[in-house]
Amino acid sequence: MSTTATTKPVPITVAHGDGIGPEIMDATLRIITAAGAQLAIEPIEIGEAVYKRGLQSGIEPASWESLRRAQVFLKAPITTPQGGGFKSLNVTIRKTLGMYANVRPCSSLHPFVSTKHPNMDIVIVRENEEDVYGGIEHRQTNQVAQCLKLISRPGSKRIIRYAFEYARVNNRKKVTCFTKDNIMKITDGLFHRTFTEIAAEYPQIESEHWIVDIGAAKMADTPEAFDVIVMPNLYGDVLSDVAAQITGSVGLAGSANIGDHCSMFEAIHGSAPRRAGQNLANPSGLLHGALLMLVHIGQSDAAERAHNAWLRTIEDGVHTYDIYKDGVSKKKVGTAEFADAVIARLGEKPQVLKPAAYARGVSMDLSMRKAGPVPQKQRVGVDIFLDVPAGNPDALGAALQRLHVAGTRLTTISNRGTKVWPDGNPDTYWSDHWCARFEGDGGTFSAAHTIALLEAVSRAGFDAIKTEGLYTFNGERGFSLAQGE
């Protein structure tokens, strides 16, 4: 058959999960094993039962050891109990094990599964660790709360290189980047600039950038215009669900969470508790996660056999309830019978749909290339954020100008990013969250200036809720201007 037959069993950690999890995991493992996958399975328990034993994280310490040892994790969906401060296990696992890339192929199965987009075949590559998902949030005034959006250069380089390497190895023609860098020029701007730099190393692959709003609209309307799309975390979170949904069903998609050491493979849907234990659920999403896993561990032959048999099953109209449609489908089956139907077709190929063809013998080169020279960083000022409940820009400007800290000057005051002093617009709404920007008065601006300003501000009776240093990098401004500045 293949190299697969002679491959030594690869250790993988498997969690059967909650709700429909055990049924779809059994079906998935039966299919891939019959297709020739060589796996040494280490089962672990995660999810509801573990949460109920009082572990807020939903995972036992011993399970971490299995994950670190095997480095490959096939995970069925779990139920996160409502309320009670339980942590999302998925986020915990991804972040703890450094799974920086989320990969979600979404292709339509027209005419066998109804979709408005018969020619859709895209892969969303989502950055998985950064952006607002650090969950670093603060409420510092009565009226205003904030969430910190962090985008790093190494984090961007790594995910963008992953997207291009994925395209190269899987013979994809184009990589598109979505950001909102017309507004977030520094954070999303960094992601976009990094994309442009890395794209230059792949002249054989077309590259393009879209602003995320219009890009998302285009993707929902004409997905066939895209191939691989790489995005920061939040846009990727939202748009990967949109992409899966418009193929016809979220129940069909799988995803991979890739890290340098450990990777996790799963269905994108949840544990569907109402369908549990009834032999109803469609195992296709988890099967797709498992196919990504087989390619990841070098068992592409088994992945291809299982994938082609699955395509043939779908073509033959053997469908679970979620995709069953009178006139198109031929036979409504349960989870176990669907798996049997796929296994019975191993060795066959689809006749209408494009057969799966996984790359062999080409591996990704994800080495982080040498970092460029460290730029010259210079402090040029400070933003001091103030909680002033009944503030008024002119009074605040006058009071802050009276602080007289030598070597500094107040340059602007803004409120939620809009300049209100000097020369503010009377129609601008003011919250209690103000930002006073101080810069050097002719000379250099030091940390001592920041400390002196903070002391002066608090002596004057203001509540300074936070500071942000203002820096330039090789002379380039590393901070945004306020709207209207």
Q: Quote the distance between the C-alpha of residue 236 and its chain's center.
A: 5
Contact call for residue 90 and ligand NAD (CB under 6 A): yes
Shortest separation between residue 1's beta carbon and ligand NAD, angstroms? 29
Q: SS in 3 state form for 93-108?
A: HHHHCCEEEEEEEEEC
CA-to-CA distance for 69 and 13, rounded, in angstroms? 9
Shortest separation between residue 55's beta carbon and ligand NAD, angstroms? 16
Judged by CB under 6 A, the stretch of 158-166, 264-272, 299-307, 417-425 that binds ligand NAD is 264-272
Shortest separation between residue 431's beta carbon and ligand NAD, angstroms? 34
Contact call for residue 251 and ligand NAD (CB under 6 A): yes
Contact call for residue 271 and ligand NAD (CB under 6 A): yes
- For residue 436, the cross-strand partners are 384, 413
Cβ–Cβ under 8 Å, residues 229 and 120: no
Contact call for residue 282 and ligand NAD (CB under 6 A): yes
Task: State which residue, 122 or 281, has the beta carbon closest to ligand NAD.
Answer: 281
Task: State which residue, 259 or 391, has the beta carbon closest to ligand NAD.
Answer: 259
Contact call for residue 215 and ligand NAD (CB under 6 A): no
Contact call for residue 275 and ligand NAD (CB under 6 A): yes
Cβ–Cβ under 8 Å, residues 336 and 370: no
Alpha-helical segments (H) within 297-355: 300-315, 335-344
Q: Please tell me whether the peptide bond between 422 and the residue prior to it is cis, using omega within 30 degrees of 0.
A: yes
- For residue 122, the cross-strand partners are 106
Task: State which residue, 90 or 146, has the beta carbon closest to ligand NAD.
Answer: 90
CA-to-CA distance for 474 and 458, rounded, in angstroms? 33
Contact positions with ligand NAD (CB under 6 A) in 307-336: 322
Contact positions with ligand NAD (CB under 6 A) in 60-89: 77-80
Judged by CB under 6 A, the stretch of 126-134, 144-152, 207-215, 280-288 that binds ligand NAD is 280-288
Query: Which of 363, 358, 356 lies closest to 107 in space, CA to CA?
Result: 356
What SS3 class is residue 259?
strand
Q: Quote the distance between the C-alpha of residue 414 and its chain's center.
A: 32
For 463, counting Cβ atoms within 10 Å of its Cβ (0-12 exposed, 13-18 middle, 19+ buried), the class is middle
Shortest separation between residue 88's beta carbon and ligand NAD, angstroms? 8
The phi, psi pair for 225, rounded to 5°, reads -75, -10
Contact call for residue 272 and ligand NAD (CB under 6 A): yes
Judged by CB under 6 A, the stretch of 100-108, 233-241, 279-287, 398-406 that binds ligand NAD is 279-287
Task: State which residue, 282 or 467, has the beta carbon closest to ligand NAD.
Answer: 282
Judged by CB under 6 A, the stretch of 266-274, 340-348, 355-363, 420-428 that binds ligand NAD is 266-274
CA-to-CA distance for 16 and 25, rounded, in angstroms? 6
Residue nearest to ligand NAD (CB): 270
Contact call for residue 281 and ligand NAD (CB under 6 A): yes
Judged by CB under 6 A, the stretch of 102-110, 151-159, 268-276, 450-458 that binds ligand NAD is 268-276
Shortest separation between residue 274's beta carbon and ligand NAD, angstroms? 6
What SS3 class is residue 470?
strand
According to DSSP, residue 436 is labeled E
**Binding region for ligand NAD (CB under 6 A):** 20, 24, 77-80, 90, 251, 266, 269-275, 281-282, 285, 322
